[in-house]
Amino acid sequence: MRRHPHVFGTGRLNSSAEVLVQWDAIKRTERQATVQSEAPVFKHLPPQLPALMYAEAVWKQIEKKKLDAAGRVDGGEIRRLGADLTEETLGRRLFELAAAAHDKGLDPEGALRQETSRVVRETEAAWRAAHPPSSS
């Protein structure tokens, strides 16, 4: 009903071209209203994405959008760890962490997914607090 005022409201349009113009204007107005108030800071990622890929994609968005993740993610530690990292050492460390988690009875996939989700939630909340929706 909201997008078809020419059908459900009092206004009348004379052609399908006018209907399409009005439709686009209504959608544009709706989109602008949600830009800051409801639109997510992080782009949607498929829920079936493995936790490691999810974490990598979230970090990539933090860097690309220059989001302030201080207090949630230690960027200095990330850079320190990455300074001498190679494919071989990365593989070895990931394997050792997965094996240690298994020995301890922990779920590394679930732990990484929970931590990444926490970073997303808290970073998004901090961004929204710093960028309240405009009341125009």
Q: What pLDDT is attached to residue 117? A: 93
DSSP at 38: T
Rounded to whole angstroms, the Cα distance separating 120 from 40 reads 10
Rounded to whole angstroms, the Cα distance separating 64 from 73 reads 15
Judged against a pLDDT cut of 70, whether residue 82 lies above it is answered with yes
Judged against a pLDDT cut of 90, whether residue 37 lies above it is answered with no
Judged against a pLDDT cut of 60, whether residue 106 lies above it is answered with yes
Q: What pLDDT is attached to residue 120? A: 93
Of residues 114 and 133, more confidence is placed in 114
Mean pLDDT value of segment 59-80: 92
Model confidence at 7, in pLDDT bands (50, 70, 90)? Answer: low
Rounded to whole angstroms, the Cα distance separating 34 from 77 reads 35
Q: What pLDDT is attached to residue 133? A: 77
Buried-state track 92-104, b at ≥16 Cβ within 10 A, e below 16: eeeeeeeeebeee
Mean pLDDT value of segment 38-52: 84
DSSP at 56: H
Judged against a pLDDT cut of 60, whether residue 65 lies above it is answered with yes
